Amino acid sequence: MRIETLLIGALSLILAGYLTQASAQPVTPDADIEKPITTQTEVHYRVAVLANYGVAKSIERWQPLMDYLSQNVANASFEVVPLDFNNMNQKLISGDIQFVVTNPGHYFNMSGDYPISWLATMKSNQHNGSTFAIGATIIVRKDSHLFSVEDLAGHSVVASDPNALGGYQAAIGLIHSMDYSINNFFSKVTFLGFPLEPLIYQVRDGTADIAITPFCTLEQMVAEGYIEASDYRVINDVTPADYECAVSTPLYPNWSFASSDAVPLMVRTGITRALLSISMDDPASIIGQNRGWAAPISQFQVVKLFNDLNLNADDSPVHLQVLQWIKLNQKWGFSLLGLFVIATIYHLWLEYKFRQKSEFLINTERQLKNKALQLERMQSAAILGEIGAGLAHELNQPIAAITQYSEGGMIEQAKNIGTNSVQYQLLEKIHQQSMRAGEIVHRIRELLQRKGTASTEFDVQEQLMICLDLLEHEFEKEKINIKTQLTTTEIKLNGDKVGFCQVLINVLKNAIDAVSEKEFPLHSRKRILIDLHIVDQSLQLKIYDNGIGLTCANDDFKTSFFSTKANGLGLGLAICSDVIALFGGQINLSKCKDDPSPPWRYGCRVLIVIPLNAMPD
């Protein structure tokens, strides 16, 4: 039991004892009403009523009763507050209203969550003042093909509110009592709220097949001239004798006046006396469309209906239940809500910091691995540098000897036989290659010693043809179809001529190896295409092959000591990249299919781009 209820109960007992002592003198009820105590401060109370026909009409109907209570209840004034079901519940929780005038179904739903007391039941203005005047009327158009409750299944329906006893709940109770399943009985249910007139308008306009309205809504709209009675028909008409309005469901107790238990017992007692003493001829009764008030009527039929349908179970969404609990327990509710928000923010902050630290650790680990790999490569480069320096020194002497011997032989051949002999031409080629070998060894020594390379002006096409002549034997051996596309014949570069030739030979040798490793069908040929042209003041040299293609990323091939060949050192393309960089250019590898206009789709493409106006480093 709530602490608030215990406190209010104790206060009620104290006030009851006070009233008992005060009533020891023989004073009639009329005297109490006519001579209220005026020495105490007047308290203003707000009375919520269901706004069935809108706010303005509700105030017009119920404010006279509020004025009557203000005159006849000591030290109290009353104000009518028209609300719908949901707003009435919220206002009652927050304490903005202290009394409610509603149907017993709504009272039953509220009584499980809010401490309220039933004071009086309203007598109907019709039906000989009956206190059973709550029910539902199921209405269809006159020309509708629906004639029974069974026919209603699978059709669309409109109603005021799911909590309206004199409407949707009574109708669902009727359907349940006839052994029909209430789950998905209608194809579509739409709740329009208040006022009630649009419910019948929906049926009139064909927007809905059925309208479920409170008892007497149809007759009241006919009397006010809104609709014609002949245009509509009532389903399952079970109107009792001496009742003026058609009804489709059993009737339940009329509206009642209920009070929050927070209102003092003296005020509640005064209201009950005033309600029971009001006559049917009083202006408050006439305007309020009733014949006065009676003692509270038993709610057995309502309880039975709700138990059958389990309507008193809280089927509202979880978030609404949580919100309602917070309203009832604001202190603890807001504390828990604040704690939840803080915990959520803290969790998100921890997750953010954890992710930030994880990314930092991953980046640090990646950098350490790269540093370790670079260190390993530098160590390998240092070892290779020592070996290369010694090797270059040792090779320089035999190359010099070959140069001298070939040059001496050429002199002897020229003296004795002449320069046109085959021997002289062979010795000349040997001399040229020995000179070239000497230049390569000299360049390697300068590279290892980190010295600059002498720049000379040379013809690109001429150097390309020299490289093709040197590899002519390789092309014939592997039966490779070599083709060149030269858009210009005079392209001059200023830089390391030997290094440039070294790059061309290395790239062409890799292309030969690539096509040699691939198995070709009988009708296919091994092909290499060299495309040389000028684009935007830059030399572009493309070398295509239809070999096995790339197996790694472009940057991996330009890394020292990385090789895809079984016997490769991984220095060829790395050196090529350094040489081309000295010209201010770059070298890139890609698949043929990635080229904008490839000669074929399979294989590798090497692209060398060198600005013609760039100065060498």
Instruction: Answer whether residue 436 shows pLDDT above 50.
Output: yes
CATH number at residue 528: 3.30.565.10
Q: Is residue 16 part of a domain?
A: no
**On the CB side of 320, how many CA atoms lie within 13 Å of its CA?**
7
Specify the pLDDT at position 208: 94
Residue with tokens 């070298």: 587
Do 210 and 279 lie in one domain? The reply is no
Q: What is the pLDDT of residues 386-422, one digit of tens each?
A: 676 677 667 777 888 888 888 888 888 888 887 788 8
Mean pLDDT for the stretch of residues 221-227 = 92
Last residue of a domain, one of 232, 250, 268: 250
Residues constituting the chain? 617
Residues 238 and 145 in one domain: yes
Is 400 within a domain? Answer: yes
Would you give the DSSP letter of residue 297? P
- What's the pLDDT tens digit per position in 185-206? 999 999 988 788 999 999 999 9
- Here the CATH number for the domain that contains residue 144 is 3.40.190.10
Note whether residue 340 is domain-resident.
Answer: yes
The domain boundary, picked from 250, 266, 298, lies at: 250
Q: CA 367, CA 357: separation in Å to the nearest integer?
A: 15
Residue 236 and residue 156 share a domain: yes
Q: Which domain covers residue 544, as residue numbers?
A: 453-611
CA distance 22 to 36: 13
3-state secondary structure of 591: strand
Instruction: Specify the residue for token string 């001529």.
Output: 497
Listed residues 209, 233, 250: the one ending a domain: 250
Residue 1 counted as domain residue: no
Question: Between β-strands 188-191 and 116-124, what pairing exists: parallel, antiparallel or unpaired?
Answer: unpaired
**Whole-prediction pTM:** 0.41
- Supply the mean pLDDT for the chain: 80
R_g of the chain computed on alpha carbons = 52
Are 150 and 120 contained in the same domain?
Answer: no
User: pLDDT value at position 196?
Assistant: 87
Domain-located, residue 324: yes
pLDDT at 365 over 80: yes
For helices 497-517 and 460-470, the axis angle rounded to 10 degrees is 50
Q: Do residue 74 and residue 112 come from a single domain? A: yes
Considering only residues 470 and 556, tell me which one the structure prediction assigns the higher pLDDT. 470
Residue-wise pLDDT tens digits, 150-185: 999 999 999 988 878 888 988 998 998 888 888 889
- CA-wise closest residue to 312 among 122, 140, 565, 113: 113
Q: Are residues 233 and 286 in the same domain?
A: no
Same domain as 598, residue 466 = yes
Q: Is residue 8 in some structural domain?
A: no
- Lowest pLDDT segment from 27-41, 272-286, 287-301: 27-41
Q: Say yes or no: 217 and 293 in one domain.
A: no
390 in a structural domain: yes
**C-alpha dist (Å) from residue 614 to 249, 451, 585, 587, 611:** 99, 20, 8, 15, 5
Residue 212 binned pLDDT confidence (cut-offs 50, 70, 90): very high
Residue range 583-603, pLDDT digits in tens: 888 898 888 888 888 888 888
- Whether residues 67 and 178 share a domain: the answer is no
Residue 441: inside a domain, yes or no?
no
Indicate if 226 and 258 belong to the same structural domain: no
For residue 256, pLDDT beyond 80: yes
Same domain as 573, residue 508: yes
Please tell me the distance from the alpha carbon of residue 53 to that of residue 227, in angstroms, as a whole number.
Answer: 16
Q: What one-letter code names the amino acid at 522?
A: L
Q: How many domains does the chain have?
A: 4
471: phi then psi, degrees, rounded to nearest 5: -100, 10
Same domain, 473 and 570: yes
